[in-house]
């Protein structure tokens, strides 16, 4: 779906990324997917840093407030508002319930009770479950190479966090919250795919964040409003919180919706297997998390699975025909 650009917006980088007409043969689609995964990979590290200063609900609430003002201000300034059809209002509220509300609760508490790398690995379960949901709800076709790529990349994810005896040790509370995030992300992907047929990525993300912030108001006022005065404001806290709001809560989701529009849910979510790689590398340098041979091998397997899942069958046949026959 192409989006008409106003004269004021025509020369802005943000507008170009958010509204560029997409084609399945355009490499821009893959850059959208990779960009979203890059920001989300960093988001686990930023969240881990902010958790040293604030509780999870406060982080999510302020993250959504900043992102909502940023996005709503942008679409207002450049006249990019789209009217929401009455019959779609329920889908926006339902989508926002899954993400950002339930997803961010699961993700932030998951990071709190585990590590940034393990949290990102658990989120990589989403593409394993997505093909079934996409088939049931959106009637998307599933190719065997897509399924094989998902299996291979997920095996690489497991290899990154398991040692001898395939032991996987982390706080059960962290796993429970992260599984909540996985399920919420799964259903949100399906709903976002539905909304992306009618609305621009800016519209979807803006109103999802606004509705999500509304959902968090009673939770924030009940659980954490009294702790705000005790927060130690530092440069590290402000920087990480702004990065979460601007890049992880705004740009990443805009890129993600554009990728869904071009690739479909199943193939876009395969890229989420790259998130643990990004998180592991950044965590090694910024959080001093362990980075060993298993993680390196696992990363290679994940990347192999991602590219395998993107190969179309007719490309393989074309290569096979070009091989000289003896």
* Token duo for residue 26: 């355009």
For the stretch 286-290, contacts whose Cβ atoms lie closer than 8 Å and that sit 24 or more positions apart, written own/partner, are 286/45, 286/49, 287/45, 287/48, 287/49, 287/115, 287/116, 289/115, 289/116, 289/117
Q: What confidence score (pLDDT) does residue 310 get?
A: 63
Write down the pLDDT at residue 123. Answer: 82
Band of residue 275 on the pLDDT scale cut at 50, 70, 90: confident
Mean pLDDT for 295-323 is 63
pLDDT 10s digits, 38-78: 999 999 999 999 999 999 999 999 999 999 999 999 889 88
Q: Which pLDDT does position 321 carry in this prediction? A: 44
pLDDT tens sequence across 79-133: 888 999 999 999 999 999 999 999 999 999 999 998 898 888 788 777 666 766 7
> In percent, how much of the chain has pLDDT > 70?
81
* Model pTM score: 0.76
Q: Read off the pLDDT band of 302 (50, 70, 90).
A: confident
pLDDT band at 1 (very low <50, low <70, confident <90, very high): very low
Q: Are 280 and 289 in contact (CB under 8 A)?
A: yes
pLDDT value of residue 311: 65
Confidence at 238, pLDDT banded by 50, 70, 90: very high
Whether residue 315 is predicted with pLDDT greater than 50 in this model: the reply is: no
pLDDT at position 15: 46
Give whichever of 3-17, 158-172, 202-216 has the largest mean pLDDT.
Answer: 202-216
- Ranking 138-147, 186-195, 201-210, 242-251 by mean pLDDT, the lowest is 138-147
| Helix axis angle, 252-263 to 27-50, nearest 10° | 150
pLDDT (tens digit per residue) in 190-212:
888 789 889 988 899 899 999 99
CB 156, CB 305: distance < 8 Å: yes
Question: Domain residues of the chain, as ranges?
Answer: 25-143+167-263
pLDDT given for residue 312 in this prediction: 58
Q: How far is CA 277 from CA 36, 145, 151, 242, in A?
A: 14, 22, 16, 23
Q: Would you state the pLDDT for residue 282? A: 92
């Amino acid at each position: 779906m192409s989006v008409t650009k106003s004269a004021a917006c025509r020369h802005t980088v943000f507008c170009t990324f958010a509204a560029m007409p997409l084609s399945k043969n355009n490499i821009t689609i893959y850059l959208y997917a990779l960009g979203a995964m890059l920001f989300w990979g960093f988001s686990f590290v930023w969240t881990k840093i902010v958790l040293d200063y604030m509780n999870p609900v406060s982080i999510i609430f302020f993250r959504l407030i900043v992102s909502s003002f940023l996005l709503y201000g942008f679409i207002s300034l450049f006249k990019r508002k789209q009217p929401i059809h009455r019959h779609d209002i329920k889908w926006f509220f339902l989508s926002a319930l899954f993400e950002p509300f339930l997803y961010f609760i699961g993700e932030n508490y998951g990071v709190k009770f585990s590590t940034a790398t393990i949290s990102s690995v658990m989120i990589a379960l989403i593409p394993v479950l997505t093909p079934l949901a996409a088939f049931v709800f959106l009637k998307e076709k599933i190719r065997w190479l897509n399924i094989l790529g998902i299996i291979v990349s997920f095996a690489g994810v497991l290899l990154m966090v398991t040692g001898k005896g395939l032991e996987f040790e982390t706080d059960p509370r962290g796993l429970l919250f992260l599984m909540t995030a996985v399920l919420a992300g799964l259903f949100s992907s399906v709903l976002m795919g539905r909304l992306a047929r009618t609305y621009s990525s800016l519209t979807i993300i803006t109103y999802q964040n606004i509705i999500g912030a509304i959902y968090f108001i009673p939770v924030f006022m009940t659980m954490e409003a009294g702790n705000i005065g005790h927060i130690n404001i530092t440069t590290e806290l402000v920087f990480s919180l702004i990065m979460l709001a601007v890049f992880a809560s705004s740009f990443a989701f805009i890129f993600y919706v554009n990728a869904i529009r071009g690739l479909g849910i199943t193939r876009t979510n395969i890229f989420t297997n790259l998130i643990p790689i990004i998180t592991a590398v950044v965590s090694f340098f910024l959080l001093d998390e362990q980075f060993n041979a298993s993680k390196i091998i696992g990363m290679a397997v994940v990347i192999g699975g991602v590219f395998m899942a993107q190969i179309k069958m007719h490309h393989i046949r074309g290569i096979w025909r070009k091989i000289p026959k003896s």
